[in-house]
Amino acid sequence: MKNLVKIIIICFFIVSSFTLADDTNKNLTNVYKLLQEKKFEEGIKNLHILCEKNDIDAQLLYSKILFSGDLTPQDFQNSYFWAFSALLGGQKKSSNILKKLSEYLTEKQIEEITINVRTFLEKRAFAKDRRAVIQIAKLYEKFTEPPDMVNAYTWYNIAVAKGIKTAKSKRDEILDKLNEKELLDAQTISIKLFKKIND
């Protein structure tokens, strides 16, 4: 417990040394303050709220806390869920905890978590969360067996239309892997989803 509190305090000082230009960073800094002040229940509650808003830094921290079980009971499934979402959002440090968690979870459990993450991200995408659009595309491209290139293209196509420049090269790369029918299906679906997201 003392070690975790020390880690949290160190993380607080690291985070507070960065510019706090947006509300998300301020909110995460507030979580670190609450944890430093040993207001664990309030800190965890605020951390969970940030995770639900798809803050990948909060998701990684919450995943670590759920894995350690020091401030809240261990919960490997939820730890995996938040670490996986963070990884899809670009938080590469999440891969370490996912590797550890895969030793404790069955393939079936991981499949169910993947479905739940996809559902969570789709809700976020329909709530106009641009990051979630890319996360879903990555999930289909890299974390389904076999890779679902039709859905990956669909979501990268939406991402490009939403102005996410980094998605263009990925969309065009997948484009060459689809046949005419798959491409037509993917574009039809992406047009429908894009309209739904923009409504």
> DSSP for 31-42?
HHHHHHTT-HHH
Spatial neighbors of 24 by CB under 8 A, at least 6 apart, are: 50, 53, 55
**pLDDT exceeds 80 at position 4:** no
Dump pLDDT digits (tens) for 127-175.
999 999 999 999 999 999 899 999 999 999 999 999 999 999 999 999 9
**pLDDT exceeds 60 at position 16:** no
Which pTM was predicted?
A: 0.86
What's the pLDDT at 25? 74
**pLDDT exceeds 50 at position 21:** no
Dump pLDDT digits (tens) for 51-83.
999 999 999 999 999 999 988 999 999 999 999
What's the pLDDT at 3? 57
Spatial neighbors of 189 by CB under 8 A, at least 6 apart, are: 150, 151, 154
Provide the residue count of the chain.
199
What's the pLDDT at 49? 95
Angle at 56 between CA 189 and CA 166, to 5 degrees: 50
